[in-house]
Structure 1
Amino acid sequence: MDGNGRWAQQRGLPRHEGHRAGARAVREVVHGALEMGLRHLTLYTFSTENWSRDREEVDAILGLLRDEVADNPFRDLDVHMRWHGRAGRLPTDLADLLQLRERTTRGRTGLTLTMCIDYGGRDEITRTAAALARRARAGQLDPDRITDEDFARHLPHPDMPDVDLLWRTGNEQRTSNFLPWHSAYAELHFTPGLWPDTDRRDLWQAVTAYTGRQRRLGAESPNPLPL
Structure 2
Amino acid sequence: MSDSLEIPKHIAIIMDGNGRWAQQRHMPRKLGHYRGAARVRSLIEYCTRVGVECVTLFAFSTENWQRPAEEVDALMALFIEYLDKELPAMLENRVRFKAIGALDRFSPEVRDRIRRAEQQSASNDGLFLNVAVNYGGRWDILHAVQSWQAAHPNAALSELSQDVLSEYLSTAGQPELDLLIRTGGESRISNFLIWQAAYAELYFTDILWPDFDEAALQAAFDWFSARDRRFGKVKASI
Shorter-chain TM-score tier: over 0.9
1:114 correspondence with 2:130: yes
| Letter paired with 1:15 | R
Residues 181-206 of structure 1, C-alpha deviations (whole Å, 9 max, x = no match): 11100001001110001111111111
Residues 140-172 of structure 1, C-alpha deviations (whole Å, 9 max, x = no match): x22223211121122244213321000000011
| Letter paired with 2:144 | T
| Letter paired with 1:108 | N
**How far, CA to CA, are the matches of 1:35 and 1:95 in structure 2?**
30
1:175 correspondence with 2:192: no
Which of 160, 164, 170 is equivalent to 1:146?
A: 160
Contact 2:56-2:132 at 8 Å conserved across structures = yes
1:206 correspondence with 2:220: yes
**How far, CA to CA, are the matches of 2:51 and 2:168 in structure 1?**
29
Contact 1:31-1:200 at 8 Å conserved across structures = no
**How far, CA to CA, are the matches of 2:178 and 2:216 in structure 1?**
17
Name the residue aligned to 2:18.
4
Name the residue aligned to 2:199.
185
| Letter paired with 2:22 | A
Name the residue aligned to 2:92.
76
Displacement of 1:132 after TM fit? 3.4
1:129 correspondence with 2:152: no
Residues 49-71 of structure 1, C-alpha deviations (whole Å, 9 max, x = no match): 00000000000011011001011
RCO higher in structure (CA 8 A, sep ≥6): 2
**How far, CA to CA, are the matches of 2:91 and 2:165 in structure 1?**
34
Displacement of 1:104 after TM fit? 0.9
- Mark the runs of 5 or more structure 1 residues left unpaired by the alignment: 223-227
| Letter paired with 1:56 | E
Which of 98, 107, 121 is equivalent to 1:105?
A: 121
**How far, CA to CA, are the matches of 2:105 and 2:159 in structure 1?**
34
Kindly report which structure 2 residues correspond to 1:8-47, keeping only aligned pairs within 5 A, or say none: 8-47=22-61
Contact 1:44-1:115 at 8 Å conserved across structures = yes
1:67 correspondence with 2:94: no
- Mark the runs of 5 or more structure 2 residues left unpaired by the alignment: 1-14
**How far, CA to CA, are the matches of 1:75 and 1:133 in structure 2?**
36
Contact 1:161-1:182 at 8 Å conserved across structures = no
1:161 correspondence with 2:161: no
**How far, CA to CA, are the matches of 2:151 and 2:114 in structure 1?**
29
Runs of 4+ in 1 over 6 A off after TM superposition: none
| Letter paired with 2:202 | L
Corresponding pairs, count: 220
**How far, CA to CA, are the matches of 1:47 and 1:190 in structure 2?**
19
Displacement of 1:82 after TM fit? 1.0
| Letter paired with 1:99 | R
Displacement of 1:135 after TM fit? 4.8
Q: Which secondary structure state, in structure 1, belongs to the residue aligned with residue 199 of structure 2? A: coil
**How far, CA to CA, are the matches of 1:80 and 1:156 in structure 2?**
14
Contact 2:48-2:127 at 8 Å conserved across structures = yes
**How far, CA to CA, are the matches of 1:150 and 1:167 in structure 2?**
27
Contact 2:96-2:127 at 8 Å conserved across structures = yes
